[in-house]
Amino acid sequence: MGEAIEGSLARLQTDYIDLYQLHWPQRQVNKMGKMNWEESYFTSKEQEEEHIIKILQEFEKQRQAGKVKYLGLSNETPWGTMKFLELARRE
């Protein structure tokens, strides 16, 4: 995420991003009207949760550095949205 944010900042020619939107989860979900569109990168729910925690930790690092103000989710499932919120509160 850090490299992606740095690239976005350079392309946008700005010092910070108001809303950094995450698109398409990296796990097997229905996408573009197709069931289980892609293979999951993860073999367990625990691995998926660890991945979400890493994303949230990197976001917090970027937020504290003043590079991003808010994190958004797009094309996420209800389960994924709930997990992001649950893990953000817990971690």
| Whether residue 75 has pLDDT greater than 70 | yes
Provide the 3-class DSSP secondary structure of residue 89.
helix
Whether the CB-CB separation of 88 and 55 falls below 8 Å is answered with: no
pLDDT in tens, 37-54: 555 566 677 888 888 899
| Whether residue 57 has pLDDT greater than 90 | yes
Please report, for the chain, how many H helices and E strands are present, in that order: 3, 2
Provide the 3-class DSSP secondary structure of residue 39.
coil
Count CB atoms within 10 A of the CB of residue 9: 16
